Amino acid sequence: MGLSILPSMARFPLWLKVLILSVFALQTGVLWAHSIPEIPVRGSFNSDGQAEISIEINPRNWDATPSEAPSLEYKTFLTMTPAQKQELIRRSQEYINRSIEFTFEPLGRVQPDFTFDFIAEDSKPLKAPEDAVVVVGRWKTKIPAGLTGWKVKSMPNHKVSVLFLNAVNGEPHERFAVLFPGETSFTLDLTSLTNTKPVVATEGSIAAQGGKSQRWEVFNSFLKAGYLHVLPEGLDHILFVLGLFLLSRSWKPVLTQVTAFTLAHSLTLGLAASGLVRVPASIVEPVIALSIAAVALENIFRPRYTPWRLLIVFVFGSIHGLGFAAGLVEKPIPHDGFWVALTGFNLGVEGAQLSVIALAFILTFWMRDEAKYRKWVVIPGSVMIAITGLWWAVERILNGGA
């Protein structure tokens, strides 16, 4: 079954269209949406020269479509044989070898000798049956005299961003980097941490101790993180924006809706990121899913732009802001760069939303006949979005917002 069935459905009643499209959506896997887990690479360095490099790999990441692949839950992991668990470790090592390049300067590229174990996401111990299992690799070493810096590169042959994090003498370093495939991190200066201090540090490296974060680097990292949180990871936010677009292609409805959505989620994003507002994911995530279904159903049954629509968008936008905050607060925000980080992340989100709208315009501008556009694009598209939102709502309620 494919999209070629849609024109033949013109004479079908709406309920039958919904049924057929829901079956199609289930077959194509569109109803299964997960954010793509980043790959945290953590360097921990001490003044006595001791160091540990660690990396976390979610088995979803080596799937052909990480955003659609389910996580390996702890209850399933417990039923696996030792050989199956060893295979997870083997595949993780293989994935690391082709996805991440580790470099100590001036030594060059190194291959950490990782010891592997299994943990939950966010470096937590595995406890609950539904915990997502992550493979963690740790390499303890000693920084030899003469090393000047440490950096990583996210190789171009994978689909996941790398999060470059460091700690010095037990304190998290204020600088971090979000690396898209093909990008290289900044160089962390190690000259103050080796037994015999080298004469000259690597040019352009970032001091391991002291100093304030550079605002442009913080802004740029969070700008990319915000964009990535929507494209490609935030399928629920993408569908909501498409739902706004499908009401009308005229500039005024699109502009006013996007403006209301932006103002609303910017407000709650700031409040949530600063800790002034806390709403559990078990509430936020199902409501986000229901908001997707609501705007899509309104496109079908109330296809007119009204002030009521604007109010709905603003209310739902405030809920989406709480969802965006989850993607912001999980990043290490520098103490002196909160507002810079918040601004960069928010602009990244806006850039991704505008990209979605621009792509929607490009794909539909050729269809000038508004009646045909509504028949072949708005109605089928809104039906599929509504079904997806309702499915996610049920799924998230049952899973406690996960």
Give the separation between CA 43 and CA 317, rounded to whole angstroms.
37
pTM, full prediction: 0.64
Provide the sign of the torsion angle of the four alpha carbons 119, 125, 130, 132, taken in this order: negative
Give the separation between CA 368 and CA 172, rounded to whole angstroms.
55
Give the tens place of pLDDT for each residue, 66-121: 766 788 999 999 999 999 999 999 999 999 999 999 999 888 899 999 999 999 88
Please report the pLDDT score of residue 10 as a whole number.
Answer: 46
Give the tens place of pLDDT for each residue, 171-205: 888 788 888 889 999 899 888 776 554 445 455 54
Enumerate residue ranges in the chain where pLDDT < 50: 1-34, 197-199, 201, 205, 210-212
Cα dihedral 34→244→324→289 (10° resolution): -50
